[in-house]
Structure 1
């Protein structure tokens, strides 16, 4: 078999200016999915993606949804001959650019800037999240087609247009068209690498489960002078319950909360310890000094390996200027638990509800509001219980450490960057990973070349030029590795 990879990498290097021009072209389209005023711009961006994929040589078209269209494209040999069929996922929509006055230049007029420590950076809304990221994939595919005339493996591309608004149309799309896009492996590009010189594969993502609890005591707000003492105060009931959710060591006190947890493999733990994570710097960047998490675990372990129970909002009583001496009728709190591999969201949610119910006075009515009021996305899996509570939940993700795809991708990244890829965890969740693995049974590998300082969702969002260029080369190497006979 002809080794096209060296020529493919040369083509990527030779076409750097053209690749940057193509990225700037799509960055100029204001594809803000959260604002209906940009609906036509979102469609224009989807059409740009289709045109670009067709230019590369893909069969590509738009799939209409109840919201913004989804781009689907296919290419590669029909006979895989033991080689994997892979899916590349990205999203073409971007966050709103506000506040505009904090941008150095207009957010949809991309420019190159020079930053200490980062070198040349691409600045624009969407530069990293995610137009710059999925453009690295497009440039790798372009180079392979240019040099070899065809891709060495079958490839499907899925680019959606509502990720920044919680992907409301994606579950229905996957339910209807899942068979068309189901592949052996999905690459998710919407993640970061360890640092600007070190590649990474995100091998663990925390899941999530949450609800909003509302406690109602008296039938109306009461004068605290006339009723203070004998009247139940729902704020006091609520804060007592919330305080009971953790013990003195920061452990979650919900019965069964830690059941089934699957710890990371020993070699991953060893690698994490060698990273020498700067806890002081991590906390210092947000004005903190001491880790407040579960005792006995480092800050990095708390983020990547351990589950949490957090209070995201609390309200009750008078919130205006001055004083209003009442005993309020209602108090509420929004609670979410970040989950790790092995935890069962349904059981944890059920146990959380029982824990709250058991600690509230019989004179206090307890309600658990649905997923919309809990502030969780419509992309999440929904469970219903006898109490008719609907909440959002998502299982944690953990990559198979023995996966041949993981090993191939890691080897390709090390070849390009000259150092081993970090097998990272992530404290957050990526909805598409849950959807593809749960609904379609696909193996997923989140690999991207963003950085923590890329200012995504903020003014002056940037993407290192090095990340853009070496990202394309990395994907070219990964494709080449996967094309080797099994």
Structure 2
């Protein structure tokens, strides 16, 4: 092991307790997105992070206001001629159901068996903390007083709400956001013992279908057998969303889906996969989906549609024995390379108009403002540098290639800033993002921090031109 590699790992190991303490302090701030009574906690979280960035050495930190939560911006540009990297992540977290947490209360972090439990520990405060300690390790190992690259950091406070204010922020601040690449840190790794470099994210279209039956909720004893029941009709519609092979049934839906290249198939096939391991780590009962594709291909290269919420009648409280006037379902449609939000939204509209039963009304709302286009990282020297750095950081001969089943504003960042987006995150599927008992592997956080420390040195030495 080269001396710098050893110095980085020894530094991070020696400061493990400080990393845990800092992440725990931040997790205690309940910066929940989309909950008005938590809005002041989003501000507290932003100010906490701004202070933590200053403590590392960033000479400039700012708070940018967003419609539902503030973003933190920081600059440390003291390396003339070196590449400029924008680091993107977020500090807002998903809402919690306290009663479903067993390991600890959501905002009372605790360490057990090498994991730190608490909301945001992995998604995505842990990923940001890895960046802070990566910088410290980089400066320690190189003896520098400033990073070997120029860094600009954007950590938004609205990602879990669909980043409604990010486009306006990027437009307003565009003059100061020139860079060579964006490093997007809000993604997963495949496995702790087999890290893989993420090179794509799927897009996302959210929609709500409302099926209308009687003009009002009406006693079933008065109209049962004659009234249109929207809950039954909605159930029928949901059963038509997929065909027998698991394909989404919208007209012409797959016309724009790009075929999976032979290279991509080979990259995904090279990753180790065991069905029992996947079911255990993902907490899923079985493996379903589109016929003819592997699990990896279904997750990262093919579109998907999920029903994420249903409502009709009296789901809580005392039942009224009434036929409901309306039933609704929330859909999450994951789209992939070649597809576009507007086209998919129109395909959904046409499908619903054709499929809705006679005697029913309907409404469809598509969340256009928070929809996200898919993104694939182009071939770029930073990808090669990141692969080298991950191998060093995780102590493996080489790293694989993967995608990210979820989305994020990667395409927006690339389009707004005119530079490629490269992904590096420290999450794992077993971290339980958006679920109860979310946690982060401390080993993975340290390896992630080591990866980033190596990356800043690599880019500072080699720039963004290919190396032998």
The 3-state SS of whatever aligns with 1:453 is: helix
- Mean CA deviation greater in 17-26 or 132-141: 17-26
Please, which of 404, 427, 435 is the counterpart of residue 450 of structure 1?
427
Matched, 1:421 2:395: no
- Mean CA deviation greater in 32-41 or 346-355: 32-41
Q: Deviations over 1:164-198 (max 9, x none)?
A: 45444434322311332342211122222221222
Q: Deviations over 1:205-228 (max 9, x none)?
A: 221223222233443456667766
The 3-state SS of whatever aligns with 1:148 is: coil
Distance 1:296 1:420, change over 3 A: same
Q: Distance in 2 between matches of 1:362 and 1:96?
A: 38
Contact 1:186 1:444 in 2 (8 A): yes
Matched, 1:396 2:374: yes
Q: Distance in 2 between matches of 1:244 and 1:101?
A: 32
Please, which of 386, 398, 401 is the counterpart of residue 409 of structure 1?
386
Contact 2:205 2:366 in 1 (8 A): no
Residue in 1 that maps onto 2:24? 27
Contact 1:209 1:337 in 2 (8 A): yes
Residue in 2 that maps onto 1:69? 70
Q: Distance in 1 between matches of 2:348 and 2:355?
A: 11
Q: Deviations over 1:78-98 (max 9, x none)?
A: 632xx4311112333445675
Alpha-carbon shift at residue 342 of structure 1 (Å): 0.6
Residue in 1 that maps onto 2:134? 140
Contact 1:454 1:462 in 2 (8 A): yes
The 3-state SS of whatever aligns with 2:256 is: coil
Matched, 1:274 2:270: yes
Give unmatched runs, 5+ long, in structure 2: none
Instruction: Note the 1:298-317 alignment, pairs <5 A.
Output: 298-317=294-313
The 3-state SS of whatever aligns with 1:394 is: coil
Alpha-carbon shift at residue 343 of structure 1 (Å): 0.9
Residue in 1 that maps onto 2:10? 13
Contact 2:220 2:321 in 1 (8 A): no
Contact 2:8 2:450 in 1 (8 A): no
Q: Distance in 1 between matches of 2:313 and 2:106?
A: 41
Residue in 1 that maps onto 2:335? 339
Distance 1:217 1:192, change over 3 A: closer
Matched, 1:467 2:449: no
Contact 1:406 1:445 in 2 (8 A): yes
Q: Distance in 2 between matches of 1:161 and 1:220?
A: 40
Contact 1:192 1:200 in 2 (8 A): no
Residue in 2 that maps onto 1:351? 347
Q: Deviations over 1:303-322 (max 9, x none)?
A: 22211233333444565767
Contact 2:181 2:420 in 1 (8 A): yes
Residue in 1 that maps onto 2:145? 149
Q: Deviations over 1:102-148 (max 9, x none)?
A: 455666565543x2xxxx33444443333332122122223334412
Alpha-carbon shift at residue 230 of structure 1 (Å): 6.1
Q: Distance in 2 between matches of 1:37 and 1:239?
A: 35
- Mean CA deviation greater in 212-221 or 253-262: 212-221
Matched, 1:131 2:108: no
Query: Pairwise CA RMSD of aligned residues?
Result: 3.3
Distance 1:315 1:137, change over 3 A: closer
Alpha-carbon shift at residue 340 of structure 1 (Å): 0.9
Instruction: Note the 1:318-333 alignment, pairs <5 A.
Output: 324=321, 326=323, 328-333=324-329
Distance 1:202 1:369, change over 3 A: same
Contact 1:206 1:427 in 2 (8 A): yes
Q: Distance in 2 between matches of 1:464 and 1:286?
A: 17
Distance 1:92 1:395, change over 3 A: closer
Q: Distance in 2 between matches of 1:201 and 1:103?
A: 32
Residue in 2 that maps onto 1:262? 258
Instruction: Note the 1:154-173 alignment, pairs <5 A.
Output: 154-173=150-169
- Mean CA deviation greater in 187-196 or 220-229: 220-229
Contact 1:24 1:110 in 2 (8 A): no
Contact 1:85 1:184 in 2 (8 A): yes
Q: Distance in 2 between matches of 1:305 and 1:103?
A: 34
Q: Distance in 1 between matches of 2:96 and 2:330?
A: 28
Q: Distance in 2 between matches of 1:220 and 1:108?
A: 42
Using structure 1 for the length normalisation, give the TM-score. 0.81
Q: Distance in 1 between matches of 2:172 and 2:458?
A: 32
Instruction: Note the 1:231-270 alignment, pairs <5 A.
Output: 232-270=228-266
Q: Deviations over 1:326-352 (max 9, x none)?
A: 4x4433333332111111221121121
Alpha-carbon shift at residue 48 of structure 1 (Å): 3.8
Please, which of 453, 457, 462 is the counterpart of residue 480 of structure 1?
457
Distance 1:403 1:44, change over 3 A: same
- Mean CA deviation greater in 18-27 or 205-214: 18-27
